[in-house]
A and B are shown apart, each in its own frame.
Chain A
Amino acid sequence: MESNKYIVSAAPHIHTKSTVSGIMRDVIIALMPSAVFGCVIFGWRAAAVIITCIASCLLSEFIFTKIMKRKSTIGDLSAVVTGMLLALNLPPQIPLYMAVIGSAFAIIIVKQIFGGLGKNFMNPALAARCFMLIAWTSAMTTFVNPMMGYGADAVSSATPLAVMKAGEGTLPSLRDAFLGFIPGTIGETSVPMILIGFVYLLIRRVITPRIPLAYILTFAVLTYFFGSRGDMSAAEYTLMQLCTGGLMLGAVFMATDYTTTPTTPLGMIIFGVGCGVLTFVIRRFGGYPEGVSFSIILMNVAAPLIEKATVPRSFGQKGGSAS
């Protein structure tokens, strides 16, 4: 009588409003404070790097999907996120052509070759950063003092991590390190800006605190007890280590990348702890003052194994859902 008037589909008939592009948009919003702060203290050069990276990522994704005759995926906004993350992990003075090549590497080699969104096994932005570190070591490790970007003659300066590693040079005050008035990559210097993004992501339920907290706590505990702190107090040294380098940015935005981390709750904690241990080992014993990118990438590679080992015990296997 009235057939075919209604849509017939399988249950459930309601869904959350959350979508992939919505989540990516939330990540972009969460990155805004850090990006804006980077532009303020490092000047127009930082803005140019951010825009270049986003544009190159989008373009790479567009061209690649075109050539492969796949449906264009730039609408899911994940390429914008990759571009922003990469830019925030680059020094503000980086030559723009390098930023372009790095972006193309992130999208084409790391993400699309492996099947695109959801399939890559390394965080595209971090893998690209590591590639750039190897390819252009000096350009990637030359940092400038904040607030100098406005003049033509930016003064290059050692990062606090490098100072601590070398045991010579002057360290900024803890307050400056926390607020972000130190040399570093565009988005990593200001802890408050990163924390604003963190809280936003938590409120929007984009991420859970499992990985960032496990990461930061593990690193802090190891550094407190086993750090080579020279003549600094353990607490001061630990705080300085936490506030400098890419630790906060990495823990909040990079180590929480869905695709390259385990989907199991316990797996996430193990992943965070692993990142913390590796970062500590690299910073403490490695030849290089920074270890966040490499640590996360190494854990990315281990993520499938961790996931396999942490399949939750189901309700019926008892204990699995004991609350």
Chain B
Amino acid sequence: MALTFKGGLHIPDFKLTAKLPVIDLPGDKLHYFPITQHKGAPLKALVKTGDHVRVGQKIADAEEFVAAPVHSSVSGTVKDVCPHVNSIGIKTETIVVENDMKYETAENLRPVEDISALTTREMLWVIRDAGIIGLGGAGFPTHVKLNPPKQVEFLIINGAECEPYITSDHRRMLENPEEIIDGAGILSKLLGVKKCYIGIEANKRDAIDTLRREVRFNSGIEIMKLKTKYPQGAEKQLIKAITGRNVPTGKIPADVGVVVINVDTVYNVWRAFRKGIPVIDRIVTVSGDAVNKPANFRVPLGVTVSYMIEKAGGFKAPPQKVIIGGPMMGFAQYTTDTPVAKTTSAVIALLEAQPTYDPDMPCIRCGKCVSNCPMGLMPNHLNKAALDRDIDAALRFNIIECIECGLCSYTCPAKKNMLQNIAAFKPMAMKAARRGSTSGK
């Protein structure tokens, strides 16, 4: 029996690249590194125009603990530090490195000799220094997550990959099972947990089998088959499916005794400890009906979308939409100059951008959004509250709990683009709620 949560919906998964082994792509001429790629304290560039950099060299960092440095993925010369478009369509400070194609590595990339000799604090610094963040898309510094305010019971590794098209985590599990299991062991030790679960959706049968074979003699790690259903990989839904526990409103997973880490993140933790290599490359799924040869590429960070599209045989026909991330939660791009950052799991090019908002069609009260919402909300009422700018109603209908999975907009026959309205109104409602609760004291 596959585990799951209540609500959600099975959506066609379009995993065109599930069976395609990862292809290594060489670097491009120019590599773009957005300085801040994580959620947390902003970084400062450590290099300036004209400096020589090497593979794995730290090029941006901050003083704070809640930050993850950025490393160069190639060797060469810093050409510029200037604003460049990032994956959410904003121009941010970006370090541009001209690749000299020599790939000289920085000297300080050394594996940890004896992990058991390290203190917890030292282990967290190894992870921080490797620039590891939530690679599934969250982008939160991993060492912070691994330093929960209280002792937790379980480590859950997220291999659900519930977004359509994306297969980068799937390929990671198939091609690096040993590394993932070793990494899971390192993290279990770090967190002091006795039990680690790896949750994988049932549509990745081969990954489940591969990892199960790998943990045959390891009672500390269990592979859990999850029902193929969106959003199975959302943190709270994953915890619910595996442990049966609900993370209460405003609380974090640690409050129910759990830490959730993405499977590719675990691989990078392994590599940081065993090889001393920071986050300098990643697997990117290039897919969609507009792409000639959909593929899974391993690319050095900083290459552009257009470079990968070219390597995937170019476009069949000009796409109407190019998305970074999945089609449910990803960002539509206005240009293909966007570079691959740490959280860029996929580039999806679609021939037809499907119709979205129909301003004339009223809500017909079909109730589909209500029964599908994985957070048990009433998106129809939230949408109305957002459009009416009614903060009281929005809070009454728990707008704060919306995880922005997009299922309501996806499923609505009247094509109300409710997530867009809800997401735009949420910050305002939350601010009002905070003000309300402080003034109420």
> A residues near B, CB below 8 A?
1-16, 18-20, 22-23, 71, 76, 115-119, 208, 258-259, 261-265, 268, 311-323
Contact (A263, B413) CB under 8 Å given A12-B328, A311-B378: no
Which residue of chain A lies nearest to B421 when distances are taken between CB atoms in the complex? A10
Chain A, interface SS category = loop
A321 touches B323 (CB 8 A): no
A13 touches B327 (CB 8 A): yes
A6 touches B370 (CB 8 A): no
B354 touches A14 (CB 8 A): yes
Of the residues A2, A14, A116, contact of B410 by C-beta under 8 Å: A14
CA A6 to CA B164, docked complex, whole Å: 20
The interface size bin for chain B is 35 or more
What are 11 residue pairs bridging A and B, where the CB atoms are less than 8 Å apart in the complex? A6-B332, A13-B327, A23-B366, A118-B363, A263-B369, A263-B378, A264-B370, A312-B378, A314-B398, A315-B236, A321-B7
> B residues near A, CB below 8 A?
4-7, 11, 89, 164, 236, 240, 244, 246-251, 318-323, 327-337, 348, 350, 353-356, 360-367, 369-371, 374-378, 380, 397-398, 401, 404, 406-407, 409-415, 417, 419-420, 423
B413 touches A10 (CB 8 A): no
Contact (A6, B401) CB under 8 Å given A13-B354, A321-B7: no
CA A258 to CA B406, docked complex, whole Å: 22
Chain B, interface SS category = loop
B377 touches A11 (CB 8 A): no
B362 touches A323 (CB 8 A): no
Of the residues A16, A264, A313, contact of B413 by C-beta under 8 Å: A16
CA A208 to CA B323, docked complex, whole Å: 34
Of the residues B11, B334, B365, contact of A4 by C-beta under 8 Å: B334
B249 touches A317 (CB 8 A): yes
Residues of B with C-beta under 8 A to A118 = 362-365, 414
A13 touches B374 (CB 8 A): no
Residues of B with C-beta under 8 A to A258 = 364-367
B208 → chain A closest CB, angstroms: 21
Of the residues A6, A208, A321, contact of B320 by C-beta under 8 Å: A6
Contact (A316, B4) CB under 8 Å given A6-B319, A16-B411: no
Which residue of chain A lies nearest to B356 when distances are taken between CB atoms in the complex? A9
CA A261 to CA B319, docked complex, whole Å: 41
B413 touches A19 (CB 8 A): yes
B413 touches A3 (CB 8 A): no
Of the residues A13, A20, A116, contact of B414 by C-beta under 8 Å: A20
Residues of A with C-beta under 8 A to B323 = 13
Contact (A314, B6) CB under 8 Å given A11-B419, A208-B371, A259-B364: no
In the complex, besides A8-B332, A13-B332, A15-B412, 6 extra interface pairs with C-beta distance below 8 angstroms are A118-B362, A263-B369, A313-B376, A317-B376, A319-B246, A321-B374
CA A191 to CA B332, docked complex, whole Å: 50
A12 touches B406 (CB 8 A): yes
